[in-house]
Amino acid sequence: MTASTANDQRFREFKMPDVGEGLTEAEILKWYVAVGDTVADGQVVCEVETAKAAVELPIPFDGVVHELRFDEGTTVDVGTAIISVDTNPGAGPAGAAPEAAPAAARAAATAAEPEPETGGRQAVLVGYGAAPSSTKRRARKPQPGAASSVAAAVQAELNGHTAPVAPVAPVAPVEPAAPVTPVAPEPALGGLALASASGGRPLAKPPVRKLAKDLGVDLATVTPTGADGVVTREDVHAALAAASAPTAASPAPLASGAVAEAAPGAEAASGAGVLVARETRIPVKGVRKATAQAMVASAFTAPHVTEFVTVDVTRTMKLVQKLKADPDMAGLRVNPLLLVAKALLVAIKRNPDVNAAWDEENQEIVRKDYVNLGIAAATPRGLIVPNIKEAQAKTLPELSRALGDLVATAREGRTSPADMSGGTVTITNVGVFGIDTGTPILNPGESAILAFGAVKLQPWVHKGKVKPRQVTTLALSFDHRLVDGELGSKVLADVAAVLENPQRLITWG
């Protein structure tokens, strides 16, 4: 056994798993360990956020943490090594652990390795993971001249390779055609300066390039302070801060007899600079990225129709107060949303064709005999829609308990991907924000979504007289491929009828 082989067996890498079916990347939110810490099989080492939820990752072997490959806040592709562990620390000093290659190189290497047990896919915690990519890239042609050779050599060293650096050929001095004002030299090495002057690529490690891309910073405008003219993370943050800080330059004194004249476009450029300084760019990732993709896919795939109804819910609000005092509901969360959910379940029972899905591939309508009731929840990480499985079979206390657990878990950011998949219909409670109603967009794969507006005291004709009553507005959006106007109207009317007279929960339920 060679020393290299022994070293590879001693230092084991833990790769980013696919924590949800088909996810391709995740962001490292927090490390729970540091270099030098002892870890055990099954111990949680970090928390990551996918497009669906925040998940804690356990490591599958024992040892001592040798290296954390990525900082917190970095988005990492599935299958990329994120931590290196020394599985035999008692063996004494050994060679360095295998150096972390760029994400693209590691992904290509993983795709090239034969894996007969899993059919060429990366082992994951949940599901089967993403299929390996077979895409290959042609090597970049080097630019002629000494500057490109120096830049290429330094960048190769950053990526974990070594290459000889050709000596820089002396540049013959050129006589200026007119007197030139001396310019202070750039705070970088000659090789980097030449590379920048000739259009060479700025030198930076892959994580730094990713950071600059996320923050919208052009590396060509960043002044490097690292060794050999390498751009560091601090350089990127400094450039961002400099671009965001308002600047007020003092005008230079005019020579005697000179007339101050604004350069063409100077005023417009100054105004644009002020606007940029007052803008904040936020990277789109995680839950926000998934929500944006889902809403666009839904809005431009399913033909939406939205219907509205305004209803007197005074009796329902009185029932809520009675249920809060009921011993059978002790310790449970009782609110108007609970009775709205129960009313929707009764309406679906009376109109089962609304609980369906459109199968585009097979050109079929899939009617479902179960109701996985989604509840749209606003969380610090964005909007998510977990669902209550088999909601149609639950009693009112069971539904209340499931609803409370769902909301609490969502707000803590602990909702699992399984809890957000398989939904059939959804309720969005816009009334908690004081909003009367809206036109909600369908959750992808679902047939209908009900918006529950704010309950307000309004004048209402009741038993032939105008009286103050508690009134709300309901809005039902549905997929017109599945649900025609008659069916959608019946469902919405049934929900309104139950909330107007909650005794129908007994007679219809």
10-67 pLDDT, tens per residue?
889 999 887 765 667 888 889 999 999 999 999 999 988 876 677 889 999 899 999 9
Report the pLDDT value the prediction gives residue 162, as an integer from 0 to 100: 47
Q: What is the DSSP letter of 432?
A: G
Cite the active site residues.
480
Q: How far apart are CA 65 and CA 87, in angstroms?
A: 9
Q: How far apart are CA 455 and CA 37, in angstroms?
A: 55
Short-list 218, 201, 74, 226, CA closest to 150: 201
Name the pairing type of β-strands 425-428 and 373-375.
parallel
CB neighbours (10 Å) of residue 176? Answer: 7
The pair of three-digit structure tokens given for residue 103, joined into one six-digit string: 């994400």
Report the pLDDT value the prediction gives residue 89, as an integer from 0 to 100: 83
- Return the residue matching tokens 């009921």: 326
**SS in 3 state form for 317-338?**
HHHHHHHHCCHHHCCCCCCHHH
Report the pLDDT value the prediction gives residue 194, as an integer from 0 to 100: 36
Band (pLDDT 50/70/90 cuts) for residue 185 is very low
3-state secondary structure of 10: helix
Q: How far apart are CA 435 and CA 13, in angstroms?
A: 51
Q: How far apart are CA 236 and CA 244, in angstroms?
A: 12
Band (pLDDT 50/70/90 cuts) for residue 348 is very high
Average pLDDT over residues 197-206: 69
| Per-residue pLDDT at 153 exceeds 90 | no
Contact 369, 274 (CB under 8 A): no
| Per-residue pLDDT at 192 exceeds 60 | no
Q: Write out pLDDT tens, residues 372-381.
A: 999 998 887 7
- Return the residue matching tokens 């585009």: 360
Bridge partner list, 243: none
* Average pLDDT in the chain: 78
- Return the residue matching tokens 């089967």: 128
Report the pLDDT value the prediction gives residue 479, as an integer from 0 to 100: 94
Contact 104, 79 (CB under 8 A): no
> Quick one: how many helices (H) and strands (E) in the chain?
13, 19
Average pLDDT over residues 433-438: 94
The pair of three-digit structure tokens given for residue 438, joined into one six-digit string: 């809206």
Q: How far apart are CA 212 and CA 392, in angstroms?
A: 49
Report the pLDDT value the prediction gives residue 401, as an integer from 0 to 100: 96
The pair of three-digit structure tokens given for residue 335, joined into one six-digit string: 């609110």
Identify the helix (H) or strand (E) that includes residue 504. Answer: helix 504-507
Residues near 491 by Cβ (< 8 Å), separated by ≥ 6? 347, 348, 351, 354, 448, 476, 478, 483
Bridge partner list, 470: 457
Report the pLDDT value the prediction gives residue 277, as an integer from 0 to 100: 73
Q: How far apart are CA 186 and CA 224, in angstroms?
A: 9
Amino acid, res. 273: G
Residues near 319 by Cβ (< 8 Å), separated by ≥ 6? 339, 502
Q: At what angle do helices 266-277 and 233-244 cross, to 10 degrees?
A: 120
Q: What share of the chain has pLDDT > 70, as a percent?
A: 69
Q: Write out pLDDT tens, residues 271-329.
A: 566 666 788 888 887 777 777 877 887 877 889 999 999 999 999 999 999 999 999 99
Bridge partner list, 68: 83
Alpha-helical segments (H) within 141-265: 146-158, 190-197, 206-215, 233-244
Contact 399, 406 (CB under 8 A): no
Q: Write out pLDDT tens, residues 417-429.
A: 788 889 999 999 9
Q: How far apart are CA 23 and CA 287, in angstroms?
A: 12
Alpha-helical segments (H) within 307-465: 314-324, 336-350, 396-411
| Per-residue pLDDT at 268 exceeds 80 | no
Query: How far from each other are the two terminal CA atoms of the chain, in whole angstroms?
Result: 73
Task: Tell me which of 295 and 143 has the higher pLDDT.
Answer: 295
